[in-house]
Chain A
Amino acid sequence: MPGRDTLEPEFLMFDLLMQTSVNAIYAASYMALIAVGLVLIFGVMGVINFAHGELYMLGAYTVVYLYAGEEYPFFLAVAIGLVFVGLVGLGMERALFRPMRGNPLGGLIASIGFLLILQTLAVLGFGVRMEHIPPQTQEVVHLLGEWAVTVPLQRLYVIVATVVLLTALWAFLRYSKFGVALRACAQDPEAAALQGISMNQTARLAMFIGAALAGVAGALTAPLVRTYPFMGHSVIVTAFIIIIVGGIGSLEGAVAAAVIYAFVNTFVTTFSDGVVADIVGLMLMLIVLVVRPTGLFGVRDRA
């Protein structure tokens, strides 16, 4: 940008702050997708899905296979990723979580087992190396007129998709019959069952939506992040921090915590370094746990 060098330092600082905020919004978006799915699954089934990061990885690998490999259009690959990972979630519900109902630790252990299986399958199918995924678009969108705040279109997709999907989910949970049934099960499974709500049906629905959200997050961010079979690890750690800070079981809390965490993390990473950012994030969570052992928005003690 010609001429910008002559500007006052505080203007450059403002640019940097704005740019970092945009980056944080992007990070908050896909983390919110993942965390909301995790919370939804926990709310209905009472199980912490440790394999959630691997569902995210599976979504990314759908794009690796279909878009980078078979040259499908990017958005078709993303849509297939959403459905495919959702179906994997259905399979998990049937094979792992239903037999383990009423045994939260058992469900958690089973999902750790499933995580190892998914990771190994990814290694066997694609190798341990990082995948190269050509970006679908190189375009950069300029925000705020003359300020040097930019957002790559590829990242903007993630932000827009998150807003659309989470709004749709909110409307679904609030207004549809299934959504009401789902919330009822999350609040009191026994009372819901007495009202004639099928627990299996609801669990399937929650698992499909939760897994599909993780899958679509992975599919959308595949060209933007390091895609390799163990990519789920760092994601699940962050997702745990977010759902704890937000209060396990609270969808609004998860979204709010995703935003808080992403801003803290992005700003500390920008102005210090990544390891310090991780430490700050974990400390944030520990402090929340010590001060409010059920999270910021958590009301019930389910665990």
Chain B
Amino acid sequence: MTEPTDVDHDVVVASRRRFLREGGALMGGAVLAGGLAGSEALAAADAASASNVPPNVPEWMKAPGDPVGSQLYGTPSPFEKGVVRNVPRNAAQYLSAASRTPLQDLDGIITPNGLFYERHHGGVPDIDPAQHRLMLHGLVDKPLIFTMDDIRRFPTESRIHFLECSGNPGYKKPYGRTASDLVGLLSCAEWTGVSLKLVLQEAGLQQAAKWVVAEGADAAALTRSIPIEKCLEDAMLVYSQNGERLRPQQGYPLRLLLPGFEGNMNVKWLRRLRVAAEPAYSREETSKYTDLMPDGSAREFTFYMEAKSIITRPSGGQRLSAPGFHEIGGIAWSGHGKIKRVDVSVDAGKSWQEAQLQEPVLTRALTRFRLPWQWDGRPAVIQSRATDETDYVQPTLAELLAVRGLNYFYHNNAIWPWRIAADGEVTNANA
């Protein structure tokens, strides 16, 4: 318990290692092919070696491809095999651990279900939905038990929201190499389910109801307490993600969704809701997920993830092929609502320009931003700064450390600069 379990100081990226092992020999060619060295460039290099480029006719045009139904559940092209979850190497154990979304390899605001970040506290349970039950009890007029069929009978609702782990990243060095290492405990999806308010009203809330204690059906029986205001505002019971049923890693068959609240509170494999007058003060809201201040006090019930952004392209581990035009792009998000603006600096923070936001700009969802940029080939430091609709501005790491100190661990929403060397290599400027 010296460090909170979300600590991930020794991040080495599995996908990066695979990339280097399998693609290292092709790197030179890939970089010469232009743009960012990555899986696309590797594919291009492969193609070149097979003489499938003009003026030759590509080999895949000279014979029919796989027939319809070759894959009953489609998977990405084999050329994208490096785009996988980023699993820390040398973790003490992997039952209570996390894997990260490869943010630098993704576009848009929706995270593919297979790449959604994971944080489990007792492994991933294998739940038969026919035997899953949700119990709702405590300060209600009528304690109830629901089957999954019951839950799906309620009026449905779909909304797009991000989820972010509270420890993403910590405050102490060493920091990660890539965008995924730094803030990959972040994903965004379209969620479908029922408003928690409707389900609570079905049981009838009593006057003294101030909190709802949610419990998962995993081996950690993870328990968190949620203020009743949030439960009646925008909380959902979710059974589908991006159009299909939840994946086991995201809580199949039922999870809680608390838009803007730290990830662990969005209890997965939800089996029980106890309406109460007081919080549970569970282990996960006292010994963990509390923020230690320099004076030894600790902040508790720190629910919201504050406004944050990161440049994902170009970002750590990538390389600019040559001076000239490069679009700077990234993601911004806030647990307090919509992103209002994102500013980008390409001169180590001396000056900032407002970036363009990509529609849709949704509340408590990832928002894409972009800025056209002419790189002059000299070393540069680039970074982004988000402002949300409450006019809160994403702080610098120095500003956060001045208040919170190095032991705080959770809720680090600092601006994160990338250093671009003269040879185009992009590295973490804070490392």
**Interaction A to B:** no
User: Which B residues are closer than 8 A to A by beta carbons?
Assistant: none
User: Which A residues are closer than 8 A to B by beta carbons?
Assistant: none
